């Protein structure tokens, strides 16, 4: 319950409950590709891999997702976005060593919902 009142890991100034938490518990749908990408980052950060799997296009998603207990997501910077893409840098720590993932993600609407397709070539 404490997490609900904390700032959302996606970097917005809203609480987790008012921001990505509502998407994680399926009380709302992402209205844009950017909102979905932020919610997926936050899901990784809080360990909600069900949300990550649910929002991944069935054509490109893996058969299952395994948590990585040595990985802690530490920050998100959105570099740009369009209707169906988002470019970002996600910071993390793995075993005390800092790192970053830079990606330009592609999204599409499927059945009225935004889903992650994959990294742009």
Q: What is the pLDDT of the chain when averaged over all its residues?
A: 95
What Cα–Cα distance (Å) separates residue 109 from each residue in 32, 41, 72?
9, 19, 29
Q: What is the pLDDT along the chain (121 residues), one digit of tens a residue?
A: 446 579 999 999 899 999 999 999 999 999 999 999 999 999 999 999 999 999 999 999 999 999 999 999 999 999 999 999 999 999 999 999 999 999 999 999 999 999 999 999 8
Phi, psi (degrees; rounded to nearest 5) at 12: -70, 170
Residue reference for tokens 């999204």: 107
Quote the pTM value.
0.94
Tell me if 99 sits within 8 A of 90, measured CB to CB: no
DSSP 56-79: B-TTTS-S-----TTEEEEEEEEE
Tell me if 38 sits within 8 A of 10, measured CB to CB: yes
């Amino acid at each position: 319950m404490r997490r609900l009142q904390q700032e959302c890991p996606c970097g917005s100034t809203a609480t987790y409950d008012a921001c990505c938490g509502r998407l994680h518990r399926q009380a709302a749908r992402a209205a844009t590709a950017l909102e979905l990408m932020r919610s997926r980052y936050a899901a990784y950060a809080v360990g909600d891999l069900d949300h990550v799997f649910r929002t991944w296009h069935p054509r490109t998603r893996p058969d299952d997702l395994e948590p990585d207990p040595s990985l802690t997501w530490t920050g998100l910077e959105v570099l740009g976005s369009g209707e169906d893409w988002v470019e970002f840098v996600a910071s993390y720590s793995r075993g005390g060593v800092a790192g970053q993932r830079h990606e330009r993600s592609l999204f599409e609407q499927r059945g009225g919902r935004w889903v992650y397709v994959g990294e742009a070539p």
